């Protein structure tokens, strides 16, 4: 099972070195490591000197989706594993997923459980982020339970459903996994095989207000779904998220948003 590792990065040179060390420490070595530098202005280009075997690509800043997509485009092998530059892998990560896919050849994607670290200490993961495997579309509607750094995916699946949406500044991972889970099973290796670090600057998850705005955009794209049961689930979730955004509009006295989300809620209710 040949694997290309794709690591997008932006001004995270020190974190990137840590991430790469965790890739080189894997008990199952990938065949290729690709770093996409999304317009960094720090010393990220020096990674070519630190790790001369890495395939390094520089591009103008365009966001994490465009960086991952460029990595996918340049990946030489059928399986792609993603790793964000501020995360790291546990040494058995790839080996565990390779073993899963050898036993479950009908799965074209898998992910793992994870460790959350803040201030050098492991923190408890909220129950709402509980992991699920198999047919997980329903469980994927509210939040993104799949960390990109935990994913291995076959390129044929991406060719079928499309890459990361470059129009989404955030929640691009939620969007892709939702599109995958709409029609495909997602395997879960229920072991803590990645480390996610929180609390440093420039984390996208803390950069934007009203994250549900981006999730709404993803859900709206799926309204053409032909599966009646799943379409109903999408509509119900949209009403929940519109309602939350409406509360925020009232709180901050955003008159245009109040009208917009009130109308959206009424339209969706008529669809049920």
203 pLDDT above the threshold of 60 = no
DSSP-assigned beta bridge partners for residue 57: 36
78 pLDDT above the threshold of 60 = yes
Q: State the total domains in the chain.
A: 2
Question: What is the percentage of the chain residues whose pLDDT exceeds 70?
Answer: 96
Domain range holding 170? Answer: 3-205
Residues 146 and 252 in one domain: no
Residues 147 and 238 in one domain: no
207 pLDDT above the threshold of 80 = no
pLDDT at 62: 96
Residues 91 and 161 in one domain: yes
What band does 199 get if pLDDT is binned at 50, 70 and 90? low
206 pLDDT above the threshold of 90 = no
Judge whether 114 and 129 are in contact, CB under 8 Å: no
Averaged pLDDT, 191-204: 78
Judge whether 193 and 93 are in contact, CB under 8 Å: yes
Residue 113: enclosing H or E segment and its boundaries? strand 109-118
* CATH number of the domain where residue 106 is located: 3.90.550.10
Residue 242's alpha-carbon distances to 54, 113, 245, 257, in angstroms, are 44, 30, 5, 10
Judge whether 116 and 198 are in contact, CB under 8 Å: yes
What is the torsion angle, in degrees rounded to the nearest 10, for the CA atoms of residue 249, residue 252, residue 255 and residue 259? Answer: 10
Question: Per the confidence metrics, is the pTM higher than 0.95?
Answer: no
Residues 80 and 40 in one domain: yes
238 in any annotated domain: yes
CA distance 9 to 20: 12
Look over the chain and give the mean of its residue pLDDT values, rounded to a whole number.
94
pLDDT at 209: 53
Residues 163 and 228 in one domain: no
Residues 39 and 80 in one domain: yes
Averaged pLDDT, 44-64: 97
pLDDT at 128: 87
CA distance 268 to 266: 5
Q: Which of 170, 205, 240 is the last residue of a domain?
A: 205
- Eight-state DSSP code of residue 53: T
Give 103-115 pLDDT, tens digit per residue.
999 999 999 999 9
Averaged pLDDT, 118-124: 92
Averaged pLDDT, 32-41: 98
């Amino acid at each position: 099972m040949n694997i290309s590792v794709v690591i997008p990065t932006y001004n995270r040179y020190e974190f990137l070195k840590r991430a790469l060390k965790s890739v080189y420490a894997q008990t199952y070595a990938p065949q290729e490591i690709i770093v996409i530098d999304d317009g960094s202005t720090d010393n990220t280009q020096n990674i070519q000197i630190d790790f001369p075997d890495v395939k390094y690509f520089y591009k103008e800043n365009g966001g994490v989706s465009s960086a991952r997509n460029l990595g996918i485009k340049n990946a030489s092998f059928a399986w792609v594993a993603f790793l964000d530059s501020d995360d790291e892998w546990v040494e058995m990560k790839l080996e565990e997923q390779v073993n899963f896919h050898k036993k479950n050849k009908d799965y074209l994607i898998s992910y793992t459980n994870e460790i959350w670290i803040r201030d050098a200490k492991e923190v408890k993961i909220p129950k709402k982020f509980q992991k699920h495997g198999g047919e997980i579309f329903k469980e994927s509607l509210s939040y993104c339970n799949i960390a990109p750094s935990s994913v291995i995916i076959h390129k044929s699946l991406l060719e079928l459903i499309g890459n990361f949406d470059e129009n989404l500044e955030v929640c691009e991972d939620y969007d892709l996994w939702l599109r995958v889970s709409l029609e495909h099973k997602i395997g879960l290796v229920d072991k803590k095989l990645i480390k996610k670090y929180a609390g440093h600057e420039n984390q996208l998850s803390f950069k934007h207000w009203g994250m549900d705005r981006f999730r709404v955009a993803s859900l709206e794209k799926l309204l053409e779904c032909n599966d009646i049961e799943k379409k109903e689930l999408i509509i119900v979730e949209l009403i929940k998220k519109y309602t939350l955004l409406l509360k925020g509009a009232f709180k901050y006295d955003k008159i245009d948003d109040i009208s917009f989300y009130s109308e959206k809620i009424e339209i969706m209710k008529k669809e049920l």
